[in-house]
Amino acid sequence: MSVNKDKPVHFCFTNIVQLQFSPQHQRSVINTIIHHAFVPRINLVFAFDYKQPSPFPEESENHSLLFTRSCDWEAELERCKCPGWRVTLANEKFLLCESLPECFVVPSILLDMNLNKSAPHFAGHRVPTWSWGMSSGASIVRMAALDANISDSRQKDVMVDAISRASPRQLPVHIFDLDQLCPSVKDVQNSFLKLRDLCMPSTPQEFWEKDSNYLTHLDSTKWLLYISFCLNTALEAASFLLDNTTVVFSEHEGRDLSAVLSSLVQIMLDPVYRTFSGFELLIQKEWVALGHPFTERHHLISGSESEESPIFLLFLDCIWQLTEQCPAVFEFSETYLTSLWDSCRISLFDTFLFSSHKNRTEAILTDSLNSSFSLRSVWRWSRQFSKNDLRLFTNPLYILNKYTTEPLQPEKAAEWNDPSLLAV
């Protein structure tokens, strides 16, 4: 490609970072970026150049629960004291659903043959899956919407009845239709593009013009409005669970906003997930194992522009709002959240590269025909930061609530109805 030898090259990145390179370095920089930024296949991203030969013991020691094995889910069921549920292997070799892991949790009353019969009735064959539960029997379940080509809703009724009977007292079930309550994937993307434009003025004149009416411009992006929708819906769902009602998050494919809402509710109700290890396990469970489409949402391969949308960033911003309103109940700081998002945008680690465990397995098998290797996990933070830097990840106020077992009770929850009152 041709480049201007007299003018510096200026780059604007999706994580709102701008870089400028001198003319003498621009050709090599551009060629490197083209090679790694517009790949046709996921196994051509930089993480596969950054791999190490197997075995890679420090990775497995650092993170034991990846929720790709039945024992991981069984441990979570035991911790939550939910005896009415079981781990199914009906998706072995991903024959039932390509976006779910090979093992996941369903009501004990359902046989694998019931799952095989019901799967075609749901979008993407994503049958209802258990995410978390309380000792009272109330649980969080994620479910894809019924397939648009199928008008018979009896299989949905069968699933909902089984979910109710999974609790010892057959608790009632409340279904949240997230397609109606929350923004769509496209809405989030359009909002983010407006927010990015607001934060990246190209000239001093544009900066001062936007700065003079910053809050008005921010409001027009609807970003805080969408955060408000998510926080309010999560708070309502948490209230249902505390009232001994099982909550089902229904979404078209069950892979985007249901991950946001399920994660938020668990953080509100379970203090384990407000720690470093718990938060990372939550992301592994709700986002990585249960198949959030990171490849498409982060536009990691060419041709996926229409599916790009920073749903995970929306979730992290919701968490930041919670840390601002309840500053002493989270072990991690906003620096940690920022670093987590930055790690999503660089293709060094495998954690946020793939759209499902099936995609991960196939990509690694394709690339390892001649040698065995391991990709690096993002959770090994010492590979990115020094000990002094890692100290910034810890919230110094957390020591006051280190041993709490109480649900999160945001003092300013009423303000979530008004996006203008959220932290900016």
Flag whether pLDDT at 315 surpasses 80: yes
Distance between CA 112 and CA 119 in Å, rounded? 11
Look at strands 104-107 and 173-177 and give their pairing: unpaired
Q: How far is CA 266 from CA 157, 307, 308, 415, in A?
A: 25, 27, 26, 21
Identify the DSSP state of 382.
Answer: G
Distance between CA 243 and CA 232 in Å, rounded? 17
Which range has the worst mean pLDDT, 1-15, 96-110, 179-193? Answer: 1-15
Residues 55, 57, 58, 59: what is their CA dihedral angle, to the nearest 10 degrees?
70
Give the closest residue to 313 by CA, choosing from 333, 291, 343.
Answer: 343
Model's pTM, two decimal places? 0.88
Model confidence at 18, in pLDDT bands (50, 70, 90)?
low
Flag whether pLDDT at 325 surpasses 60: yes
Structure tokens at 70: 């039945």
Q: Residue 129: in which H helix or E strand, if any?
A: strand 129-133
Model confidence at 42, in pLDDT bands (50, 70, 90)?
confident
Looking up tokens 């083209």, which residue turns up?
Answer: 34
Q: How far is CA 236 from CA 52, 247, 365, in A?
A: 45, 10, 43
Confidence (pLDDT) at 130: 98
Across the beta sheet with 246-251, the strand order is 129-133, 139-144, 246-251, 173-177
Question: What percent of the chain clears pLDDT 90, i.e. is strictly above it?
Answer: 61
Distance between CA 238 and CA 254 in Å, rounded? 19
Q: What is the mean pLDDT of residues 300-307?
A: 80
Confidence (pLDDT) at 377: 86
Indicate the average pLDDT of the chain.
87
pLDDT in tens, 268-278: 999 999 999 99
Give the closest residue to 298 by CA, choosing from 285, 312, 318.
Answer: 312
Model confidence at 402, in pLDDT bands (50, 70, 90)?
low
Structure tokens at 206: 């544009």
Confidence (pLDDT) at 55: 52
Q: Residue 395: in which H helix or E strand, if any?
A: none
Flag whether pLDDT at 407 surpasses 90: no
Q: What is the mean pLDDT of residues 330-339?
A: 96
Confidence (pLDDT) at 383: 84
Flag whether pLDDT at 58 surpasses 70: no
Contact 221, 227 (CB under 8 A): no
Confidence (pLDDT) at 367: 65
Q: What is the mean pLDDT of residues 32-57?
A: 69
Sign of the C-alpha dihedral computed for residues 122, 127, 128 and 131 taken in this order: negative
Confidence (pLDDT) at 2: 46
Confidence (pLDDT) at 11: 67
Distance between CA 118 and CA 128 in Å, rounded? 10
pLDDT in tens, 186-241: 999 999 999 999 988 888 888 898 888 889 999 999 999 999 999 999 999 999 99
Q: Residue 100: in which H helix or E strand, if any?
A: none
Greater pLDDT, 55 or 75? 75
Which range has the worst mean pLDDT, 47-51, 239-243, 263-267? Answer: 47-51
Confidence (pLDDT) at 71: 95
Flag whether pLDDT at 343 surpasses 70: yes
Which range has the worst mean pLDDT, 31-40, 110-119, 315-324? Answer: 31-40
Contact 145, 179 (CB under 8 A): yes
pLDDT in tens, 241-258: 999 999 999 999 999 999
Flag whether pLDDT at 396 surpasses 70: yes
Flag whether pLDDT at 140 surpasses 90: yes
3-state secondary structure of 248: strand
Distance between CA 89 and CA 82 in Å, rounded? 18
Distance between CA 50 and CA 295 in Å, rounded? 18
Confidence (pLDDT) at 69: 94
Confidence (pLDDT) at 226: 96
Amino acid 338 reads T
Confidence (pLDDT) at 14: 57
